[in-house]
Chains A and B, each alone.
Chain A
Amino acid sequence: MPIETAIRIFILENFLFTDDGSQLQNDASFLEEGVVDSTGVLELVMFVEETFGVTVEDEEILPENFDSVTQLARYVRSKTGEAIPDAGERLSTA
């Protein structure tokens, strides 16, 4: 499963409480659209760590890494060096 898809499913499910994908554009700012608030970002960090097996440093929790699906996917790729073959499996077995 592409990283973007995994992130989208998580956001739709946990912050927008829907499976209607049209409610979330990949480039939309989470802050601007009111999708994620301060406690939501902490949940997003936990999701990224558990799903993609990366460690998120405090100083990396910045809007440029976390404020949209596209930015978050780019950040995850930069941490993992692109290949995350098991991301989809981890999600589907979660």
Chain B
Amino acid sequence: MLVNDFLQHSAERSPDKIALICDGQRLTYAHLEEQTNRLAHGLLELGIRRGDRVAIWLPNSVETVVAIFAILKAGATFTVVNPTTKASKLAFILNNCAARGLFAPGRLGEQAAQLFDTVPSLSLAVLCGKSPPHSHAHTIPFPQLLDTNSPTRPPCPTIDVDLACLIYTSGSTGDPKGVMSTHANMAFAASSIIQYLENVPDDIVINVLPLSFDYGLYQLMMVFKFGGTLVLERSFTYPAAVLKRIEQERVTGLPGVPTLFAVLLQMDLTKFDLSSLRYLTNTAAALPVEHIQRLRDAFPWARLYSMYGLTECKRTLYLPPEELDRRPGSVGIAIPGTEVWIEDDDGNKLGPGKVGELIVRGSHVMQGYWNNPEATARWYRPGRYPAERLLCTGDLFKMDEEGFLYFVSRKDDIIKSRGEKIAPKEVESVLYQLPGIVEAAVIGVPDELLGQAVKAFVVCGEGHHLTEKEVLRHCAQHLEDFMMPKQVEFRDSLPKTSSGKIRSAALKTSEVSETSEV
């Protein structure tokens, strides 16, 4: 099955059903099918070909949804880039995947036009929303592609081993890596999740997570696959607005991350009628056990799923809700149709109580990283049969006697803030670009709302004096929102190894002891 079939089949089954509620619009499956066909014709006429990569640098919007399915119908591969990504990183991503096309917000049209100078592969930019006063030879307004093209389905030569999307994720080396998903990978992963969440066409799912994040993207994929309704919000910035939407639309599914649930638990939820919620899901980082209990008290009628996964295989584990009372700290068992185990550094499988790396096997294990054989070889390894790949998660786990799994820690120094992965090296590289900074180190520190907050330590060179504001302004110009340091500490020097490498571990230890002394 192809990912574009999710929309196509639902449009054939229930053409008049509302598929998407977003930006004040209510769109049926038939309408979306037509719009995506029109845009696909437009992309084909503009030279997009089977296998080309097309990036979508937009916030959650109707245009993003239409673009995703139109790109697939044109036989190409989409990648949704976080809309807060700054131009230099966007250029890196576009060059990494040799993107042929880009969807960008009209208000950033000038920046999009400048990308043609730094991204040689780019031949087309489609601008959405307000367009800039000056047009560029290779930019075209989104509505123009819808108005002038046929609503009939273009022929699609894609087969399910072709790539459907790239999802860029932080890598420990600091450069983002594009996880390659085939249509078959995505169809399998979506089916497996739909199976354990017991989704039915009557489900109405609200998504406040960015579509650049696999957890957000799969809400769209799953809903279109089972033929439900997706309420797509720009973000969770205004929690009361989201709760009102849940009430108005009688939403049945709320996917969240620990930060979202922590905010909800600070609110007076009795002011909203949330009785339509059938389930809540959490992943991206573990929910504190206390929050699990409080969520269950606040939503006694809803099922709460604790889950775990990583972009490299989409979802890995889920805890059947009926197990929550017995093992609230567990993230469960392998998702349907897959298997996992824990092994030591020598590759021996470990039994209950022993800590080791979680290894994943199944059709959801993605194809590796685009144009990055080193990282692919590090995290993916050959499986039992030729061409089979296993995923080494880099996450340490242990298992109880009945096979339920518990997250212990990361093997590397990746920070998780608001459920998003942050490579310290990426933030450090940005800090080093600021004249005056001679040493920089970034660590994650515990934060009640964010899980972990980014803390930067910097050393200024002789004769340089920087303020925290100057450092943060520089970071805001180069980093996505979720990567922004919350604290900057100026030091005279940073702890180092005998070879002169900065010892981030020592900074972490000193933070922990300071916190515990308070």
Contacts and interface: CB of A to CB of B under 8 A. Distances in A.
Are A and B a genuine interacting pair, yes or no?
yes
Interface of A: 13, 16-18, 31-32, 34, 36-42, 58-63, 66
**Which of B237, B239, B260 gathers the greatest number of chain A CB atoms within 10 Å?**
B237
B259 interface: yes
B243 to A, nearest CB: 8
B265 to A, nearest CB: 12
30 contacts: A16-B473, A17-B469, A17-B473, A17-B476, A18-B469, A32-B107, A34-B481, A37-B235, A37-B237, A37-B481, A37-B482, A38-B237, A38-B259, A38-B260, A38-B263, A39-B259, A39-B418, A39-B450, A41-B237, A58-B239, A58-B240, A58-B267, A58-B268, A58-B271, A59-B271, A61-B239, A61-B241, A62-B238, A62-B240, A63-B241
A17 B468 CA distance: 9
B436 interface: no
A61 B236 CA distance: 11
B234 interface: yes
B295 interface: no
Nearest to A37: B481
Contacts of A66: 238
Interface of B: 83-84, 107, 234-241, 244, 259-260, 263, 267-268, 271-272, 418, 449-450, 469-470, 472-473, 476, 481-482
Contact of B469 (A13, A42, A59, A60): A13
Contacts, number: 60
A9 B234 CA distance: 26
Contacts of B84: 34, 37
Contacts of A61: 238-241
Contacts of B244: 59
Nearest to A15: B476
Contacts of A31: 234-235, 237
Nearest to A40: B237
Contacts of B418: 39
Nearest to A36: B237
A62 B245 CA distance: 12
Given A34-B83, A59-B272, 5 more contacts: A18-B469, A36-B237, A37-B482, A39-B259, A61-B241
B238 A41 contact: yes
A79 B241 CA distance: 19
Contacts of A40: 237
Nearest to B83: A34
A79 to B, nearest CB: 16
B473 A59 contact: no
Contacts of B83: 34
Shortest beta-carbon contacts, A-B, top 7: A17-B473, A17-B472, A58-B267, A38-B237, A59-B240, A37-B481, A38-B236
A19 to B, nearest CB: 9
B149 to A, nearest CB: 28
A64 B152 CA distance: 40
Max chain B Cβ within 10 angstroms of own Cβ: one of A18, A34, A36: A34
A38 B84 CA distance: 13
A16 to B, nearest CB: 7
Contact of B263 (A13, A16, A17, A42): A42
A60 B259 contact: no
A31 B62 CA distance: 16
A77 to B, nearest CB: 20
A18 B473 CA distance: 7
Contacts of B240: 58-62
B487 to A, nearest CB: 14
Contacts of A41: 237-238
Contacts of B470: 17
A18 B267 CA distance: 32
